[in-house]
Amino acid sequence: MSSEASSSRAIRHEEAARRFTWTEDGQLCVLDYTLEGAVASFTHTGVPAPVSGRGIAADLVRAGLDTARARGWRVRPLCSYVAAYVKRHPEYQDLVE
């Protein structure tokens, strides 16, 4: 996956539903979170098998973490994928509660 393709995804932040979404080939991909005060707990990343391996989960998590930074939120990476992503990307370590 090229970074150009990855960065061209317009991930949607559905605030009322507390999730970030992207639809690829008709498949809904999500990053779910809860928000307590200024702490976002990322609870689930879901990318259906037919579209897995395309960097979608990483794009969803990046969008979530970038939103957290922009809004001054702390982050709890409860989802194992989000926790692994943060470990691989130290630029987000300062957000982790």
Q: Which domain holds residue 85?
A: 3-91
Q: What's the confidence (pLDDT) of residue 19? A: 99
Give the chain's domain count. 1
Q: What's the confidence (pLDDT) of residue 72? A: 98
**Is the residue at 26 inside a domain?**
yes
Question: What letter does residue 96 receive in the DSSP assignment?
Answer: B
The residues, any chain, with a CB within 8 Å of residue 65's CB and separated by 6 or more, are 75, 85, 86, 92, 95
**Is the residue at 97 inside a domain?**
no
**Is the residue at 9 inside a domain?**
yes
pLDDT tens-digit profile of 10-19? Answer: 999 999 999 9
**Is the residue at 52 inside a domain?**
yes
Q: If you write DSSP's letter for every residue of 35-92 in order, what string do you get?
A: EETTEEEEEEEE--GGGTTSSHHHHHHHHHHHHHHHHT-EEEE-SHHHHHHHHH-GGG
**Is the residue at 96 inside a domain?**
no
User: Which CATH number do you get for residue 71?
Assistant: 3.40.630.30
Q: Which pTM value belongs to this model?
A: 0.91
